[in-house]
Chain A
Amino acid sequence: MFSVDKKKLDDLLRAWAKDELYVPCKVGDITSFEVYGTHEIDLDFKNSRVPIKRIMFPESETLYRYESFPEGYKIEPEELDNQKRIIFGARPCDCAGIERIDKKFYQDPADPYYDARRKNTIIVGLACNKPPFFSCFCTSVGLSPHSTVGMDALFTDLGDKYLAESITDKGKEILKGLDEAPEDEIRKAKELHEKADRLLERFEIDNSAMDFDARIWEKEAQRCIGCGICTFLCPSCSCFTIENIGSTRKGKMVRIWETCQFPAYSIEASGHNPRPNRKERVRQRFFDKYRYSFDKFGEFDCVGCGRCVDLCPVNIDVREIMVSVKEAGR
């Protein structure tokens, strides 16, 4: 445990900025993680609109370039991005999202593009002393406003100081040389953590009560407009599509964020779509988050950041739905 004076934080960040350092910044009226020094830094932020997954898994990235020659196609894989990065100030839910994405990208064989960025990135989290949004529900999915899942180090705001805790070896490395924190600061942080826990209302998610044929999916899907905000902004969603950009002669293959909420996502080569309507697509999101991922990895693919609740233009609320699923299953 280390102690960082807020006045000295900038020195610390400047030292970290020799690598590419991402900090929460005010961009227009939303918060976004940007490279240190390019925007006004904002450490009183609630949470960034787009989760930090975009730093390791960008909205679009080139996989390889191709060009046709008389002797055949020449394929040039894109160079791996080995830039060393530090993300400072990520919220615990978003960090847990990275851990969920790791599980998917590190299945055999590991994804080289993601791997290159991931292993070169150090994530320093910032605990929520007060859960930032009315829609926050991290404690209901087994996390907390100060959970360290997916982080290398955790900072806690103590007013005029930060308490810094290293979680992994990488975290130990970058916190080296800081002052040891006195006992009372550690105690104060613990109190703040417990207080934040109490602020959140918990509800129980019972995925065994989820009925594939229940009426609720149809009912909720009626309202859905299929925009996909819930998945694009989800810290743990990692689906992508691969598009050819260019012509058959010359071009590149690009990986782009994709969502199960679009019909084109599940359309098959024959033209058949196993998820033809909103009902199937909305249901897919819920089953993927709370059932399939649980069966496969032993945890929910949801980190309770509440973005999908807060930003849904038609107010489809996972909390409400999972509560009524549980009640219906009783």
Chain B
Amino acid sequence: MSEEEMKTKIRDLLVEGKIKFFVGYEKGTNPFLARPVMISDENLEKVDDLEFSVLCSNNLTLYIIEDRKKILPRGVERDERPIGLVVKGCDSRAINVLLQENMIKREDVFLVGLPCEGVVDPNKARDVWYKRSDRLNPEDLEINEKGMFVNGEKIADFDEIEADRCRVCLHRNPVAHDELVWDEVEEPKLETREKRYEKIREYESLSPEKKWDFWKKELSKCIRCYSCKNICPLCYCEECSLAKDQLQAVSPEEKSRRVLWVGREVDLLDNLSYHLNRAMHLAGRCIDCGECERSCPVNIPLRLLYNEVEKNIYETFQYEAGINPDEEPVLTTFGSEEARNEECFL
């Protein structure tokens, strides 16, 4: 299918009312990022502006859960039609995790797969642009899979502005999709898995003191804005035990019984427990879409934390999150040999 055919298909689905709305990407005012756009039958013209490019950084699966959480006025029934959305390789794995965890059913979503050879990290691109261009207005800036161009002149290679996660990505083609925007791309070579854990190995080789110093430095930057949690498509709990920010309509009795496991104070200990707890909650689930690290306003290298957990899970269980929707989530099940293992945690 071509891009144009895909747009026609999406328009048809919306006109026929087969999907509730469609979430894709459009060109926004931030030149380093194509932003999410919701298209329903009210703004059908936006279908023409849908963008499928290297700027499609956001993980849109978040919006399925967001839509679920919406509180409707009394008397209004929930629209149960499926939601259409664009998924890259990493995003489609998030869909699989949601399926495994019974958060959604496959028929709740219509997936437009976007085979992807890497997206731009808006933070990197912005820094490069500020460094190499003396302009204030990025109007004549163009970013594509070849690199970054100002007035047609190349100022950066794509490698320089590519998101870190994409450089070690193992699943470029969506593992779940209904349609593909274009043909599947070549999957990365096997050595990428080795490369994937290079940074982790480097980190692991540090002495405990050095590791502690590293995290002390990084985590004391945290301002506890919770954007890492709020942008995560798999942090879907209606209420987070690590932050009371999402408390929704509850009775006073219920409200008084709420327990917060981690203090909200911004100090190293609380910051550390928040981030470590979150990493544990994402063990065997994190699909490394990198949204937390991208959105972090103080640039904490959060992916290092989650990749470490991912590596441990892979080495212990040979399990990768979000590959097979029919598989049991790895940490909610016991293998027969594990049950007999006396060293078993429980």
Q: Could you tell me which A residues sit within 8 Å of B by CB distance? A: 27-30, 32, 46, 49-50, 54, 58-60, 130-131, 134-136, 199-201, 219, 222-223, 225-229, 232-233, 241, 243, 245, 254, 256-257, 259, 262-265, 267, 269-273, 276-278, 309-315, 317, 319-320
Contacts and interface: CB of A to CB of B under 8 A. Distances in A.
Contacts of A319: 29
Shortest 9 CB-CB distances between A and B: which pairs? A227-B227, A264-B247, A315-B35, A59-B266, A262-B245, A315-B28, A313-B295, A232-B225, A227-B230
A269 B137 CA distance: 47
B221 A27 contact: yes
Contacts of B230: 225-228
Contacts of B248: 263, 267, 273, 276
Given A59-B224, A267-B248, A229 B297 contact: yes
Contacts of B127: 29
Interface string B261-301: 00111110000000000000000000000010011011100
Nearest to B33: A315
**Chain A contact residues: helix, strand, loop or mixed:** loop
Contact of B37 (A134, A223, A264): A223
Contacts of A222: 38
B84 interface: no
B88 to A, nearest CB: 16
B190 interface: no
Contact of A310 (B30, B36, B255): B30
Contact of A317 (B30, B264, B291): B30
Contact of B245 (A58, A135, A263): A263
Contacts of A278: 66, 70
B188 interface: no
B136 A130 contact: yes
A233 B246 contact: no
B197 interface: no
A98 to B, nearest CB: 18
Contacts of A262: 226, 245-246
* Chain B residues touching A, majority SS: loop
Nearest to B138: A134
6 contacts: A46-B130, A49-B299, A134-B136, A267-B248, A269-B255, A273-B71
Contacts of A54: 223
A25 B231 CA distance: 29
Contacts of A272: 249
B147 interface: no
Nearest to A136: B136
B104 interface: no
Given A225-B231, A228-B227, A271 B265 contact: no
Contacts of B62: 225
Contacts of B221: 27-28, 32
Interface string B54-95: 000010001000100011000000000000000000000000
Contacts of A270: 252
A277 B71 contact: yes
A225 B265 CA distance: 23
A233 B247 contact: no
B143 to A, nearest CB: 14
A320 B137 CA distance: 15
A60 B225 contact: no
B264 A60 contact: yes
B344 interface: no
B231 A134 contact: no
Contacts of B291: 313
Nearest to B239: A264
B225 A229 contact: yes
Given A225-B62, A232-B223, A271 B36 contact: no
Contacts, number: 150
A200 B299 CA distance: 28
A267 B239 CA distance: 13
B244 interface: yes
Contact of B36 (A136, A223, A273): A223
Interface string B103-146: 00000000000000000000000110010000011100000000
Contacts of A131: 136
Contacts of A273: 71, 248-249
Contacts of A225: 62, 66, 230-231
Contacts of A32: 221
Contacts of B153: none
B332 interface: no
B303 to A, nearest CB: 15
B244 A317 contact: no
Nearest to A62: B265
A183 B141 CA distance: 41
Contact of B254 (A135, A271, A315): A271
Given A134-B137, A227-B295, A271 B227 contact: no
A252 to B, nearest CB: 9
A130 B28 CA distance: 24
B249 A271 contact: yes
Contact of A50 (B223, B226, B227): B223
B50 to A, nearest CB: 14
A134 B31 contact: yes
Contact of A223 (B35, B218, B244): B35
B249 A256 contact: no
Contact of A60 (B265, B294, B297): B265
B33 to A, nearest CB: 6
A263 B299 contact: no
Contacts of B138: 134
Nearest to B246: A263
Given A60-B266, A60-B267, A263-B247, 19 more contacts: A28-B221, A30-B298, A58-B266, A59-B224, A60-B224, A134-B136, A134-B137, A227-B227, A228-B226, A245-B263, A254-B265, A257-B224, A257-B266, A264-B244, A264-B245, A265-B245, A271-B250, A271-B254, A313-B231
